[in-house]
Amino acid sequence: MIQRVPIAPNGPSFSKLIYGTWRILDDAATATAEDLLRRLHQCLDLGITTVDTAEIYGLYKVEEFIGETLKKEPGLRDKLEIVTKCGIYVPCEFHPERRTAFYNAEASRLVKSTEKSLRLMGIDHIDLLLVHRPDWLTGADETAAGLNKLLKDGKIRAAGVSNYNVHQFELLNSRMDQPLVTNQVEFSLLHMDPIYDGTGDQCQRLGIKPMAWSPLGKGALMDSTQPASARIHAKCAELGAKYDGATVDQLAYAWIMAHPSQPLPIIGTNKLDRLIATAKSAGIRLEREDWYALWTAAKGHGIP
Q: If you count them, how many residues does the chain have? A: 304
Nearer CB in complex with ligand NAP: 173/177: 173
Give the range of 17-25, 90-98, 227-235, 286-294 binding ligand NAP by CB under 6 A.
17-25
Q: How many Å apart are CA 66 and CA 119, to the nearest integer?
A: 11
Q: How far is CA 255 from CA 43, 52, 195, 276, 282, in A?
A: 21, 21, 12, 18, 10
The correct pick among 163, 182, 202, 281 for binding ligand NAP (CB under 6 A) is 163
- 267-286 residues near ligand NAP, rule: CB under 6 A: 268-271, 274
Which residues are bridge partners to 51 per DSSP? 19, 82
Q: Are 186 and 214 in contact, with CB atoms under 8 Å apart?
A: yes
184 part of the interface to ligand NAP, by CB under 6 A: yes
Q: For residue 51, what is the enclosing H or E element?
A: strand 50-52
Q: How far is the CB of 43 from ligand NAP (least distance, A)?
A: 13
Q: For residue 5, what is the enclosing H or E element?
A: strand 4-6
Q: How far is the CB of 126 from ligand NAP (least distance, A)?
A: 14
Q: For residue 300, what is the enclosing H or E element?
A: none
- 42-71 residues near ligand NAP, rule: CB under 6 A: 52
Q: How far is the CB of 36 from ligand NAP (least distance, A)?
A: 12
Q: How far is the CB of 302 from ligand NAP (least distance, A)?
A: 26
266 part of the interface to ligand NAP, by CB under 6 A: yes
Q: Would you name the residues annotated as active-site residues? A: 57
How big is the CA angle at 39 (ends 33 and 41), to the nearest 5 degrees?
100
The binding site for ligand NAP (CB under 6 A) comprises: 20-23, 52, 162-163, 184, 213-219, 222, 249, 266, 268-271, 274
